[in-house]
């Protein structure tokens, strides 16, 4: 059949234009121009921008993490899915870009989503974004599938999108499908806005075959104080309870709480699958108290652990690494458990012990004021501090060069732990000093990387995750202000898992071909 036998309609002429333009485009990714802030053991892209983790799953003996990725520039635009895999949750390797914006329903962004193994295929479900060009200021968001039988190349389902419109009273913001299976039925939870109340909500659909989805109803929604839009929902069982994890936008700061521009946290409750009743506490608990933590996503490992990773950055910030050709990283993977008081505990996955290369320090110190420990870029630092009754600030001080430093300490005058990057934006939160036998003790586990710090306190009930930007090798000090504190310090230097960076991408010509192929196939099917 010759091309001219088609009536030249609008989409078809667009395809031809796309193909012509792309014949002249060179195929290359942006590259990193300065390694100073490149992380040693965190997931990051070869170069360019990344945000939310996506499609966190286990398939064919490997963990898969995808991420929102702009390979062309270190800015939030042209969303693709970047892809890394690991056999051990520690050593990651880059794979070719998994999903491109190459279909009519995702031309303006392959937005966030999740992954699940169905009948020996790795299935990704994501949000296709299309900006409206007729003057109305919104985009159309629909839900689509991509399927792989080798864990590397993905084919988009021909009848995408599988959930084309938001449900009843759903605003146009309708995204971030998180898929799971329960009793042979597939479920997906999505973020949305109620267009009558303009409040954030999470909605559920179910399917028996992956392709036909039925709207189940609203899982939970804001009644006024939990934000105008809920992003990146995740719904899972933990120690017999159901957790709705999400990243709401529009929660007002309240004292020490909700100090980030956008939040990530959870509701704890119990869910009845027959009635779609999620009976939950009305308390939205923040997951992390640092500056850079958003869009957390979880998966269940083959041995039944619930593991979470998150974007270790925040929207609407200055990103010092941007001028080096890249932005963004993911947190280390953390295992989640639920405490008896109904709070999520986060601890670094046990596999991360494999990162330790050498012992930097193993000692017990009596600290009064500051005491130098070592100079290091990437380390794990374990501290057990025991102090007396006197009011004190106990923790660590990290000098970053150029007169800037990071302080991370417990202030015993108010039992608040503080992370202060010296930028007039310190973060603090009340902590329960957890050792019942010895209330005057603090346990800290710190993961330091070239431009990040993650702090785990007590049993993991409080964490702080923030980016930091040293101008020389950081100098780490033990800190005890006002009194003598006994500190047991064990520290390990951590490995650099990345060797070389590269980027593989299809040419836009190939993408345009897929775009055209989709429309042709549609014509033949009808």
Ligand X SMILES: *[C@@H]1O[C@H](CO)[C@@H](O)[C@H](O)[C@H]1NC(C)=O
Nearest to 332 by CA among 40, 38, 36: 40
214-221 vs 199-207, strand pairing mode: antiparallel
Q: β-strand 48-59 against 326-327: which pairing, if any? A: parallel
Nearest-approach distance from CB 112 to ligand X, in angstroms: 22
**Is there binding between residue 2 and ligand X (CB under 6 A)?**
no
Give me the least distance between CB of 432 and ligand X, in Å please. 4
SS3 310: strand
Query: Which stretch in 98-106, 220-228, 288-296, 402-410 sits in contact with ligand X by CB under 6 A?
Result: 402-410
Within residues 88-117, the interface with ligand X by CB under 6 A covers none
Q: Strand, coil or helix: what is 360?
A: strand
The answer to whether 274 contacts ligand X (rule: CB under 6 A) is: yes
The two beta strands, 155-156 and 241-249, are unpaired
Contact flag: residue 521 with ligand X (CB under 6 A): no
Phi, psi of 321 (to 5 degrees): -80, -5
Q: How many residues are recorded in the chain?
A: 526
- Based on the shown chain and the rule CB under 6 A, indicate whether residue 252 belongs to the binding site for ligand X: no
Token digits of residue 35: 């390694």
Is 409 a binder of ligand X (CB under 6 A)?
A: yes
Instruction: Map the footprint of ligand X across residues 158-187, applying CB under 6 A.
Output: 168-170, 183
Letters for 207-226 (x = contact with ligand X by CB under 6 A, - = none) are: --xx----------------
Q: Which of 79, 307, 355, 407 binds ligand X (CB under 6 A)?
A: 407
3-state secondary structure of 31: coil
Distant-in-sequence, close-in-space partners of 203: CB < 8 Å, separation ≥ 6: 167, 170, 189, 190, 192, 215, 216, 217, 218, 219
Specify the residue, 151 or 269, whose C-beta has the smaller distance to ligand X: 269
The strands making up 334-338's β-sheet, listed across from edge to edge, are 294-300, 306-311, 334-338, 344-348
Helix (H, G, I), strand (E, B) or coil at 353: helix
Return the residue of 153, 279, 366, 413 that touches ligand X, per CB under 6 A: 279
Q: Which of 414, 415, 471, 473 binds ligand X (CB under 6 A)?
A: 471
Q: Which is nearer to ligand X, 490 or 517 (CB)?
A: 490
CB 324 within 8 A of CB 37: yes
Answer for the pair 392, 372: CB distance below 8 angstroms, yes or no: no
234 is catalytic: no
| Smallest distance, ligand X to C-beta of residue 96, A | 26
- ω into 348 cis (within 30 of 0): no
Tokens of 290: 């640092």
Please, what is the minimum distance in Å from the beta carbon of residue 450 to ligand X?
14
Taking the C-alpha atoms of residue 263 and residue 283, their distance in angstroms, rounded to an integer, is 14
Catalytic residue among 52, 173, 288, 449: 52
CB-nearer residue toward ligand X: 93 or 372 = 372
362 part of the interface to ligand X, by CB under 6 A = yes
In the range 425-444, which residues lie near ligand X by CB under 6 A?
A: 430, 432
481 binds ligand X (CB under 6 A): yes
Shortest gap between Cβ of 119 and ligand X (angstroms)?
4
- List the catalytic residues: 52
Footprint on this chain of ligand X (rule: CB under 6 A)? 118-119, 168-170, 183, 195, 209-210, 273-275, 277, 279, 341, 343, 359, 362, 393, 402, 407, 409, 430, 432, 461, 471, 481, 490
């Amino acid at each position: 059949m010759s091309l001219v036998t088609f009536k030249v309609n609008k989409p078809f002429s667009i395809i031809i234009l796309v193909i012509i333009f792309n014949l002249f485009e060179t195929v290359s990714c942006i590259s990193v121009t300065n390694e100073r802030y490149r992380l040693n053991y965190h997931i990051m892209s070869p170069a360019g921008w990344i945000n939310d983790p996506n499609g966190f799953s286990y398939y064919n003996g490997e963990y898969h993490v995808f991420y929102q990725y702009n390979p062309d520039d270190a800015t939030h635009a042209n969303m693709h899915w970047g892809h890394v895999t690991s056999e051990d949750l520690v050593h990651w390797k880059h794979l070719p870009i998994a999903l491109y914006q190459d279909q009519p329903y995702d031309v303006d962004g392959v937005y966030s989503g999740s992954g699940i193994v169905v009948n020996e295929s790795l299935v990704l479900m994501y949000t296709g974004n299309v900006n409206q060009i007729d003057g109305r200021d919104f985009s159309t968001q629909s839900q689509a599938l991509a399927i792989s039988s080798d864990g590397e190349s993905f084919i988009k389902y021909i009848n995408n999108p599988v959930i084309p419109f938001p449900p009843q009273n759903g605003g146009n913001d309708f995204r971030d499908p998180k898929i799971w299976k329960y009793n042979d039925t597939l479920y997906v939870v999505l973020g949305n806005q109620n267009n009558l109340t303009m409040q954030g909500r999470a909605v559920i659909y179910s399917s028996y075959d992956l392709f036909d989805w039925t709207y189940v109803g609203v899982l939970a929604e804001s009644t006024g104080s939990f934000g105008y839009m809920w992003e990146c929902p995740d719904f899972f069982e933990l120690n017999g309870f159901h957790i709705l994890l999400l990243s709401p936008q529009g929660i007002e700061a309240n004292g020490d709480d909700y100090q980030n521009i956008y939040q990530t946290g959870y509701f704890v409750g119990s869910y009845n699958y027959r009635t779609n009743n999620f009976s939950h506490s009305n308390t939205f608990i923040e997951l992390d108290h640092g500056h850079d933590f958003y869009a957390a996503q979880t998966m269940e490992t083959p041995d039944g652990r619930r593991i979470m990773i998150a974007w270790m950055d925040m929207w609407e910030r200055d990103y010092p690494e941007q001028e080096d050709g890249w932005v963004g990283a993911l947190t280390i993977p953390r295992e989640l458990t639920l405490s008896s008081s109904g709070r999520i505990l986060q601890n670094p996955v046990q596999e991360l012990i494999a990162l330790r290369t050498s012992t930097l320090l193993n000692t017990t110190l009596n600290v009064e004021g500051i005491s130098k420990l070592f100079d290091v870029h990437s380390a794990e630092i374990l501290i057990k501090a025991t102090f007396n009754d006197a009011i004190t600030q106990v923790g660590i001080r990290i000098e970053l060069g150029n007169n800037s430093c990071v302080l991370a300490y417990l202030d015993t005058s108010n039992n608040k732990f503080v992370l202060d990057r010296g930028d007039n934006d310190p973060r603090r939160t009340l902590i329960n000093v957890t050792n019942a036998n010895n209330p005057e003790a603090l346990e800290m586990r710190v993961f330091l990387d070239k431009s990040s710090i993650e702090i785990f306190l007590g049993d993991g009930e409080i964490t702080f995750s923030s980016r930091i930007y040293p101008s020389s090798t950081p100098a780490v000090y033990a800190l005890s202000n006002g009194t003598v504190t006994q500190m047991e310090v064990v520290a390990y230097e951590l490995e650099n898992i990345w060797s070389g960076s590269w980027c593989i991408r299809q040419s836009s010509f190939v993408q345009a071909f897929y775009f055209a192929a989709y429309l042709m196939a549609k014509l033949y099917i009808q």
